Every structure is written in C-alpha cells, then in structure tokens.
Structure 1
Amino acid sequence: MKRFLTLILALAAACASSCSGSAERHISDFSTEVYTPIYASRFDIRGTLKDASTLITVHSPWQGAANLDQHLILLRGKAKAPRNTDVQAVRAPVRRVVCMSSSHVALFDAIGQAPRIVGVSGIEYIHNPIIRERSLCGELRDVGYDSNLDFELLTALNPDLILLYGVSGENTVVTGKLRELGIPYLYVGDYVEESPLGKAEWIVAAAELCDLRGAGIDSLRKIATRYNAQKTRLDPADARPKVMLNTPYRDTWFMPPVQSYMVRLIEDAGGSYVYPKNRSNASVAVELEEAYLLASGADFWINVGACDSLKELTAQNPKFAEIPAVVDRCVWNNNRRQTPAGGSDFWESGTVRPDVVLHDLRTILCGGDDSTYYYKRLE
C-alpha cells in the first residue's frame, strides 16, 4: 500500500509539473502561428498552447540551402529545453548577444536594443556609434572572424546567443565548438532576402528574442508605410531612366537578377534595370564588352565598388571615361557613410531602412541634389 501511495504521489507531481509549464519543449509542440512575415520568406515564428514559449524557424539561411530549416526555441516561464536533440534553445529574453554581421547590429539598433550586444565580428567595419563607443569603453569585444573566432573570449563574454550567417553552408567547425561550449546560436538569413522590406522584417525576429515582438512589428509597420508611400507607380508606357550596376571584378562583370534586392529598389524608385534578361536566382557573369555597352546605354551608374571619385573609376578602364553617365556626372556610390576601414553603413543600417535607401534612389533618378543619406555623387 505504501509503494502504491508513493507511485500515486510521483504521478501527481509529474502531472503538476507538466501542467505548470515545466515540461520539455520540442519542435512538435509549436503548431500555432504567432507571426507570419508579410515580406520576408526566410523565417517565421510559431507558438505552443502549453506556455508562452515560441519557435523561430529560419528557412534556407544561405544561398543554395534549399529546403533546409534551422530552429531556435525561446523558452519562457518554466519550460525546459529538450534533451538529446540538435534543436537549439535559449531562455527569453536574451540579454547578451554576439553579432557576426553588421546587419545583425542594425536589427537590434532598430528597436533600441543595441546595448544587449556584447560582441561583434570586425569592429572596425561597424558604423553604429553606440557599438563603437561601447567597444572603446571595453563593454563590447571583437570576437574575430569565421573559423578564427576567439572562443576563449567568447566564453568569457558569456553570451545568451550568437547570431551567425552562412555564405555557402554551415561552418561546422564553429557550430561544433559552440555546441561543445554550450553557447546557443542561430543562423540569420536576412542577407538572402530579395525584398527590401523582407530584409527589414527581420527586425521582428530580433524583437522576438528580446520579448519585444510588438515593438518590432510597430517599427516594421512604420518603415513599410514610408517605403510604400514613396514607391513610384508609373504607367508601363512611361519612360524610366536606365540604371547600370556594379563594376568589373577580376575582369568579370556580375549582373544581378531582376528579382534581386537592388533591382527591386531601382524599379520601386522609378528606374529601369539595364539587364532585364537575367531571370535566374543568382548574379551572372557578363563579358566586359557587353557590360560596357550596357553601361553606355544607361542614364545612371550606381554602386561602383570602392570607387570614391570618377578618377578612381576611370582608372579601372580608360574606356569608362567615354560612358555618358560618367561624362554627365551621373555616377553615384553607396559609400557616403563608411568607417575609416571601409565598413559601409549602407549594408548595415541600410538593410533595415529601405525607406531611406528608396528616398536616396528617387532623389538620384530625379536629377540628384546631394541631399542623399547613403549615396554620394562621384566627382
């Protein structure tokens, strides 16, 4: 009888524990839509009916990662992380974050949470003044690059989460070591989003990590409202100025596809991309002679690499001096705001402020008055 009573009490305790939300959470628990992105295609947030825990799922977080999902469980209340599983879990809200990309910094800054960042990769390339000041004060450290991470320093920082990015695949050297050290991580796929507002929508994912989902949604709504108010809606018969992109890289000129981030911005600003036949999902290499002809037929030429003047641009190829956009001083680069080491704020805060980028491009295509935020006219 005593053994039977003990068993009953144990079962009751287990039931009470489960009902109070202290059970382990698994991916299968998250069947309720919490946030379905409007513009982004690379993440979603789901919840469980058992407690306030949520699951961030990142879809195809790097180029070529088709049908690959990565998950992060955000534990809340008394929920426990799953044991004996590859699923990452962290208790929300995260208070100490390491960002391996400057665009991750921008996500937290957009919701006023940059002080949560305790580590970055490449401080000399980060433009954010809060991050740079905290680095000078010793409140934030540079943890290194890629496989050359300073794991000893990373451990000392005691982060709740490290945000990674993948170029062509998972860096198993890094993730294997992070698992060994017990540091949760999440691959962020903002850079592979093709929609300008889709990149910005990752603000909501960052806000979810901080238990500030509402603030993230509100920030995105304001950005989207400003962006959509500026979008140029022209009749198909209206003439649009033609825009050339990029410069040669090792004697090869890469032209992005029509659905890419920059081309969408150009189209929304009222411009016409000079290479509409690239309807693939990646940039394609174009022969220099063909690219030269494309540039010669463009009204504007933007995003010209590291060039800071027309002299630097034409030094790459003397024939560039004959291109009409160069002759007419209609060459603009997105490097008005950069660090001494060359870190561009266009690829930092610009990723979460497509409304400001769109305003720049509209200003440029309307003749340009040098009041742009990210762009400057080359002289």
Structure 2
Amino acid sequence: MSKKQFHLSLICAFCMLFIFSCREKKKPLPIQQSESKIQIEHATGFSIKPNSDFTVIEVTSAWPGAETHFTYALVPREKLATITLPRDAYNAIIAIPVEKMVITSTTHIPSLELLGMLDAVVGFPDTDLISSSAARNQIDKGLIKELGTNENINTEIALELNPEMVIGFGINGTNKAYETLKRSGIPIVYNGEWTEQTPLGKAEWIKFFAPFFQKEAEADSIFKDIEKSYKQAKALAQNAKEKPTVLTGGLYKDVWYVAGGKSWMSQFLEDAQADYLWADTDEKGSIGLSLEAVLEKGEKADFWFNPSLHTSYEELLQANSHYEQFSAFSNRKVFSNAVKKGVTGGLLFYELAPQRPDLVLHDLISILHPELLTDYQPHFFMPLN
C-alpha cells in the first residue's frame, strides 16, 4: 500500500468512526424497567405498572367476556424525545399530563371531577345524560361539545376538537366511529369500570384515570376515603336486628328483570344486611323471569327496589295492574333510584353511584334499618311518589 493510499484509508476509518459515534449519541435513553405496580385491591379489570420513564396501563376487561387486552404507555411530555417505545407493543402511546380528552360515559365524570380535571373534557356524546352541575356548567359555556351518541359519534366535530385521547366505552370491540378516530391519529383508551361486580371494585377505577394527569397520589387518597366510608357503613349494618326480604326490578314488555346473585346490586343488599330473594343465583347481571315466577317468590317481600324506571305508584299501576299484588306495593315500601335527575333528565344514580358506593350503601341502610341512621337524607334511593 502506498503512503497516499494509507492516509486515504486512515481518513475513511476516522470518518466511519465519527459517523458511528454521532449515531451513538442520538440513541434514545435506555428504559429503566421496574416490577413495581400501583396497588389495586378491589378492581379486577386493569393494572398500572410505573417505571422511571413511563407508566403502562393494561385493561383486561374492556367489556364482559373480552378476550383482547389493551395496553397503553403513558409517557411524560418532557421524555417523549428521549425514549423510543416499540409501537406494536402498545395499543396507544400517550403524552401526559393529558390536556384535552373526549369521554363517552357519564360514569367517567365523577372521577375526573374528584381529581380536579373536569376542565380537560372537551367533548361528550349525548350531553343531556349528564347530571353533574359542574359538568353542565362547562356544557353551558360551550367548553364540552355535543358529539351525538357513543355508537355514532360525530367524528367531524370530534376531530375539530383535536383531543389527545378518547376514553372509550363499549359493549364489544365494534365501533365504527372509534375506528375512524384511530385512523386519524386519536388514541382510543378503553375503560371497563362497568364490568366490575363489586361496589369498591367500580369505585377503584378512579386510579385508572389518575396516571393520565399524574394524579396517582390524589386518586389513592380519594379512594381510601371512599373505601373507609363504605366499610364503616357495612360495619354499622351488622348491628341490624333483622334482615328484611327484598325484591328488585320490574317488567320490560313481558319479562321481569331482577338483579343476579353475583351482581353489583346484590352485593350492596348483602352488605346492607338484607335478605335478597335471588342472592343464591350465579348471574352477574340481571335474570329474566316471568311475572308469575316473581309473584311466587317475591309477593310477600318487605321491600322492592328499582321498579324499572317508574317513579310513582300511579305509573306502576298504569304499566301493569298486577303490581298491586305485591306486599311492598300495598305497604308503600317501593323505592327507586330513578327519581333524582339532572336538569336535562340524566339519572344521577347511573352517573355518580359507581364512584360513590358508600353513599349507595348508606341509602340502603337508612331504608332497611332506619333505626341505624336517623335524620338521614338519601342521595339516590327515594320512595315512589
């Protein structure tokens, strides 16, 4: 090799070394893995796994019987440029704290309100369903836009709002509007709180919302207060001297739907020291029965809760004259969770009760065992008019 060729080779070698060293400097910072998890004690449908660089939320029960798990990586904005995540490993990668979001269920509102993050909501399908006075104020100011319905979201308006994410609610994995939004680059994050079967399990989903706003400590504190209140109410109910019998539900067309023995409502009644007549069944949802079958078992029930959406005895009789055959009807012991509504007709119970099971349990105790809670004003369950 000539001296000139040697120098040329040496220059090439230095150039290659410089190129690779530059590339090395541009490599993202290594991700610090951690096995720690945020403690979830009652909810079964999600988990949260933080590490020093980002947080992973996994939703394992987006809807009943869901076989697909959804995994979301939440990355602090200041770290987005310094770490690289394998996009095929996550359903969405989201910058936090989130500043603009669309939500799709009224049950999402209480969690955001308690966390002080209601201002982040920019759109909602069917805003008339919302009862929260704070949320209605946002709607009246034009800060929360009407988006149609959950199954048919107005995607044009949603895209104009430019949200960073949509908290999705679904009964299955099919929603054309969600697919349209995803193709436009807006992440859909499924929330499955409604699939939980226990009162405290539903309420603990406030911890699901918290990482999107870096509010984990606040959510943990809020939930502990709700949990403590619920457990105190449950302990109070243990002082009841008797367990009154309870009937639930009402006719829809020709089918009477009662709460299943493994349902959310059945758990409330058990904790309130009631003798629920269908507590020994295995259904997690409702059970469809004939009027004759319900009469046979529940005719003499001491109390009757949630007679469909009827709010007066007159309505019940107009719907079906056979209702007056029940002792709870003739003794005026029928109570409904559909009496209290927001200004546009939304039912307060379906919005707030999942987040505040302690209030639900106090209501039931005050009705079933009034001697244990004197001068109590119910939040959800009211006597029929």
How high is the TM-score relative to the length of structure 2?
A: 0.89
Deviation at 1:84, TM superposition (A): 5.5
Deviation at 1:339, TM superposition (A): 2.4
Q: 1:326 to 1:86 in 2, by over 3 A?
A: same
Which residue in the other structure is 2:6 paired with? none
Native 8 Å contact 1:200 1:220 kept in 2: yes
Q: 1:95 to 1:360 in 2, by over 3 A?
A: same
Which residue in the other structure is 1:103 paired with? 107
Q: 1:11 to 1:328 in 2, by over 3 A?
A: farther
For residues 249-280 of structure 1, what are the alpha-carbon distances to aligned partners after superposition, in whole Å with 9 as ceiling and x for unaligned? 12111233222111111111111211123213
Aligned-partner Cα distance in 2 for 1:8–1:371 = 77
Question: Is 1:212 matched up with 2:232?
Answer: no
Question: Is 1:152 matched up with 2:156?
Answer: yes
Which residue in the other structure is 1:26 paired with? none
3-state DSSP of counterpart to 1:35: coil
Query: What one-letter code is carried by the residue in structure 2 that aligns with 1:20?
Result: L
Which residue in the other structure is 1:126 paired with? 130
Native 8 Å contact 2:151 2:175 kept in 1: no
* Contiguous gaps of at least 5 residues in structure 2: 1-9
Question: Is 1:269 matched up with 2:272?
Answer: yes
Alignment length (residue pairs): 369
3-state DSSP of counterpart to 1:266: helix
Native 8 Å contact 1:336 1:373 kept in 2: no
Aligned-partner Cα distance in 2 for 1:177–1:3 = 51
For residues 315-335 of structure 1, what are the alpha-carbon distances to aligned partners after superposition, in whole Å with 9 as ceiling and x for unaligned? 222121131111111111112
Query: What one-letter code is carried by the residue in structure 2 that aligns with 1:377?
Result: P
Deviation at 1:94, TM superposition (A): 0.7
Aligned-partner Cα distance in 2 for 1:331–1:369 = 20
Q: 1:233 to 1:371 in 2, by over 3 A?
A: closer
Deviation at 1:18, TM superposition (A): 4.4
Q: 1:372 to 1:40 in 2, by over 3 A?
A: same
3-state DSSP of counterpart to 2:71: strand
Aligned-partner Cα distance in 2 for 1:239–1:199 = 28
* Contiguous gaps of at least 5 residues in structure 1: 24-28
- Say which of 254, 264, 278 aligns to 2:257: 254
The 5 Å alignment of 1:10-29 reads 10-18=19-27, 20=29
Which residue in the other structure is 1:326 paired with? 329
Identity of aligned residues (%): 26
Deviation at 1:360, TM superposition (A): 0.6
Native 8 Å contact 1:110 1:352 kept in 2: no
- Say which of 366, 380, 383 aligns to 1:374: 380
Aligned-partner Cα distance in 2 for 1:93–1:340 = 32
Which residue in the other structure is 2:61 paired with? 60
Native 8 Å contact 1:363 1:369 kept in 2: no
- Say which of 239, 242, 247 aligns to 1:244: 247
Deviation at 1:297, TM superposition (A): 2.7
Native 8 Å contact 1:30 1:55 kept in 2: no
Deviation at 1:284, TM superposition (A): 2.4
Aligned-partner Cα distance in 1 for 2:11–2:244 = 87
For residues 277-311 of structure 1, what are the alpha-carbon distances to aligned partners after superposition, in whole Å with 9 as ceiling and x for unaligned? 32134432212201123331311111122211111
Deviation at 1:217, TM superposition (A): 0.6
Deviation at 1:210, TM superposition (A): 0.7
Which residue in the other structure is 2:5 paired with? none
Native 8 Å contact 2:230 2:361 kept in 1: yes
Native 8 Å contact 2:266 2:279 kept in 1: no
Q: 1:61 to 1:31 in 2, by over 3 A?
A: farther
Which residue in the other structure is 1:192 paired with? 195
Q: 1:335 to 1:14 in 2, by over 3 A?
A: farther
Which residue in the other structure is 2:71 paired with? 71
Native 8 Å contact 2:165 2:189 kept in 1: yes
Q: Which moved more, 1:1-10 or 1:257-266?
A: 1-10
Aligned-partner Cα distance in 2 for 1:200–1:235 = 22
Native 8 Å contact 1:97 1:161 kept in 2: yes
Which residue in the other structure is 1:163 paired with? 167
Which residue in the other structure is 2:177 paired with? 174
- Say which of 358, 361, 371 aligns to 1:358: 361
Aligned-partner Cα distance in 2 for 1:137–1:337 = 24
Which residue in the other structure is 2:290 paired with? 287
Q: 1:190 to 1:137 in 2, by over 3 A?
A: same
Question: Is 1:309 matched up with 2:332?
Answer: no
Aligned-partner Cα distance in 1 for 2:68–2:62 = 8
Q: Which moved more, 1:273-282 or 1:86-95?
A: 273-282
For residues 135-175 of structure 1, what are the alpha-carbon distances to aligned partners after superposition, in whole Å with 9 as ceiling and x for unaligned? 111111011213421111111111111011111x1124123
Aligned-partner Cα distance in 1 for 2:71–2:107 = 20
- Give RMSD over aligned pairs: 2.4
Which residue in the other structure is 2:45 paired with? 42
Deviation at 1:188, TM superposition (A): 0.4
Q: 1:250 to 1:16 in 2, by over 3 A?
A: farther
Aligned-partner Cα distance in 1 for 2:155–2:325 = 52
3-state DSSP of counterpart to 2:338: coil
In terms of Rg, which structure is larger? 2
How high is the TM-score relative to the length of structure 1?
A: 0.90
Query: What one-letter code is carried by the residue in structure 2 that aligns with 1:56?
Result: I
Aligned-partner Cα distance in 1 for 2:238–2:214 = 44
For residues 172-224 of structure 1, what are the alpha-carbon distances to aligned partners after superposition, in whole Å with 9 as ceiling and x for unaligned? 41232122110011110000101111111110111111100000011000000
